[in-house]
Structure 1
Amino acid sequence: MMKLQQFLTKYTNHITAITGGLIVLGFATKFLLHSLTGYQVILAIASIIAVIPIAVRAWSALINRVFSIELLVSIAVIGAFVIGEFDESAIVTFLFLFGSYLESKTLQKTRTAIKGLTEMAPTTATLVTADGTTTVDIDDVDVDDVVLVKTGNQVPVDGVVVDGSGYLNEASITGESRQISKQLDDQVFSGTMVENGYLKVRATQVGDDTTFAKIIDLVEEAQDTKSKAEKFIDRFAQYYTPAVLVLALLVFIFSRDFRLAITVLVLGCPGALVIGAPVSNVAGIGNGAKRGILIKGGEVIDRFAKIDTLMFDKTGTLTQGKTTVTSFKAYTDNAQLLPLAAAIEQTSDHPLGQAIVTYAAQHATTTATPTLTDTETVKGQGIWATVANQKVILGNQKLLTAQQITLTATQQADLKQMQQAGQSTVILAIDQQVQAIFGIADAIRPAVKTALAALKAQGIKHLVMLTGDNELTADAVATELGIDEVHANLLPAEKVTYVKKQQAAGHIVAFVGDGINDSPSIAQADIGIAMGSGTDVAIDTSDVVLMQSSFPALVHAHGLAQKTVLNTRENIFIAIATVVFLLIGLIFGYIYMASGMFVHEASILVVIFNAMRLIKFQTKYDRKIPTPVKSVTA
């Protein structure tokens, strides 16, 4: 049976073509040669040839205790043979096979984004060895190996540039095709293309652990994750097909009209209803994948479309996370202040800390590096360390208050001035005495203000910012962006509390964060959205990953979710309307077996083509954004 199934699957299209040819030949025999016997024999042969793959599929499903559409068609064909309607059986089987062929062809188009991603996956790498270079299979590259990537080649691993420079096309990761300059120590991702230059890259993630591999896996898994509509339809279909069989039997018992009973079987095929929801979700997820938006399944799309409250982290989310020290106040002439602050912050990867490290490298008057004997990070507050038997604290006001450190009137005035200017502040204290204050500015992401307005226009009712930063800085950013509600000086756990409060009030909440410090809030929210360019935590924790880390992508993702849900409803309506039309036609006598099958197959194609409109979907906001122009390199 298995070999027969494989054979029939391989040659189903040929069988469809032969059946169509025989039907044409049969009608030619009837109308040109006036041979009714030849007409019936040819169409009977066509019916037998066409019903074989259908009946084999029906039997395979029955073995697994599934009542399939193929079972209804097979029984209908047997009934047509019983009453001698060979033309009906031939046309029904041909339309069913031809409809399946068109379904498979059109469904393939909805998966082009995923197929394109898969085809972009690198298969080989040029490994740098002591003797030069050698080409190896991608599976043979290990972490810490160095690979060479020349112009026109793909980066085969996630890693760090250790030599060379070039321009990379990162469309496979972010969805943006513009070229990005990569220099020494810059991070690169597997699957991206070197447009100009050359790079030597030390591998940090290889094989299935690379960002690109995870993207492919996630999108493929997402297309198999069912929405609520799909789950309902699956349960409905389990009972629907047996119900149609029972209905056909009852029709025959009460009407004694065998032809009518067989027609009920044909009209009862729930094809458009079964396929309507899945094809919409596949098309919607594919649209997002092309734009660097990973939506993890149909259920996520359902919830995302219903969001009414959007909550944000500030640093690295609303802002770029590329912070710089714009104000520095020192209250002692100690030349070691900047090297000391830099030495402590080098133990952290927080954007504010990295800004201090960069500032110290540019402005320190001494290169001496203090020795740290002990350090401890206080989440959401800062770091303390022991240096030469002195306790050094570097953090926000909350950390200083916890350590019972007070500021002088002058220091408080300087601190307030920095905060009113919208700067984040980091205070340096040594042995309970404040020695310096850093004012750090973080640029707001491009197009955030207009994107937030677009989200409100799409139905988001409430915008809330949750941040560990001080109130003055948070208020300055919120006022500029038009955010409705602000809560500052929060620890990660306190952000989760605010998410829970919104949920308890009956709101459906999405939380947007960088996917690292905000992972508890991302996990708690109804929809967790990571604005992280491919970090492991961003991909693993969230429901939606925006690889571009951009708010225009967020607007598109939300609009796409709404449109996909609407498209699913449209498809379900089309399917139900088709069934109603066929039943009314059956009652009034203008629908027969062959014409009913034609309408049935046509309805399947209509829902597929309707779903395919999602592949090119754009929001009103998308259409206002100018298309980025690729960089031109020498």
Structure 2
Amino acid sequence: MKGYFNKGDCGMKKTVKERLKAEEAERFAVTQEQGLTQAQVDQRIREGLVNDDKPLPTKSIKRIFYDNIVTLFNVLNLLLGIAVFLVGSYKNMLFLGVMFFNTSIGIFQEIRAKHTIDKLSIVSATKVTVIRDGQKKKVAIDDIVLDDVIEFSQGNQIPVDCVVISGNCDANESLLTGESDAIHKKPGDMMYSGSYLVSGKCIARAEHVGSENYASKISAQAKYIKKVNSEILYTLNKIIKVLTFIILPLALLMFWRQYSLPPTDPGLTGVSVLGVIDLHLVQAVVSTVAAVTGMIPEGLILLTSTVLAVSVIRLSRHKVLVQELYCIETLARVDVLCLDKTGTITEGCMEVADYVPFGDKAEKENIADVLCGLVNALDDTNATFMALKDKFSGTSAMKSDKAVPFASEKKWSGAHFVNEGSYIMGAAEFILKKVPPELKAMLDGYAKNYRSIVLAHSDEDFKGQDLP
């Protein structure tokens, strides 16, 4: 049995074939205060229920060499080369250079693509905070076990599929779904590996580990060995197969004909591997190989590989990875390329574009001072608040004596200031009982390109956690 020791663990992690699945294992009743005990963690390690992923399903180096070397084209050329080698006419073996360069181009490209694909990973986090034996510990994501209790906060990436035990948060799942809008998570909801928290805090229990994680399944699909569907490759292979049935009997007839004739070149010499000079044999083999080599479209094969290799280089300048040479042909047949949104290629961060007064009493300078006061009074972690915090990070003379943090269900946050009253910011339809038509028209105009919020004032204090 192959295995490896984990730092600090006395047990040996099981290989992929021996590991249990989550549904087959005994599930522990854990609490957010206590988490797993060390004995339970050791049991999970013995069961193989640790968050180490399965081996990548990409081609092995051995498979890449085999697929590129063992081809009908190479076999034909190799047999002809062996025949020339055996009669000692080494200078006539230069035609094997075509086979060498053609094979080298394919091997180099596939190994390069393999190394890049093997690095693909949706999960980039390195360590997380888990609760074990009632204490918080930092562990590597590879050391998370099934049923581990994990603590998450704003900005953390989710390394394993887990179920929220307590707390509320908003998760960005754009790396998995392409949808950039945050998804609100409450106790009982599943959080998928590869997503990350944009606001809030929560404690969750690991539901899947290793290859059973949602992100691992997506990565495996991207790395899976796919059969190349190429008309060029199919046609070239068909030409070689047809020529093989024609060339073999024809080569035997040509060899017999050449061997039965006297040497046409009196100066022709050759030494076989047994050290025996036979001018008839040397001339017959060299003439037959020369004729047969002319029948094989070696130039076409090499030219095709060279053109495809140049295409790979040009695509790499545009950050496009080509797994196999003949995939270029598939791309050449594409007329329209459809992309699903931009959630996976944007940063997921916002910035304040502008703040505009509304009404006679509102002044831009006063708005900036109030926003500075709110930023200092609140401790929110959602994307909108973080953008405001970056913009209005200065000091304010306003003193807050009460703050109401942001919550997804009410869509606003605010603070009460001494001798100033209450200021609330958030979605207009949640703050104002009736949105004025002029304000609604203004917000609708901004909604095409921006996320808009309103800043409202009240002389009264908050009613608990509710609006004044």
TM surpasses 0.5: no
TM-score, length of structure 2 as denominator length: 0.39
Larger radius of gyration: 2
Higher helix share: 1
TM-score, length of structure 1 as denominator length: 0.30
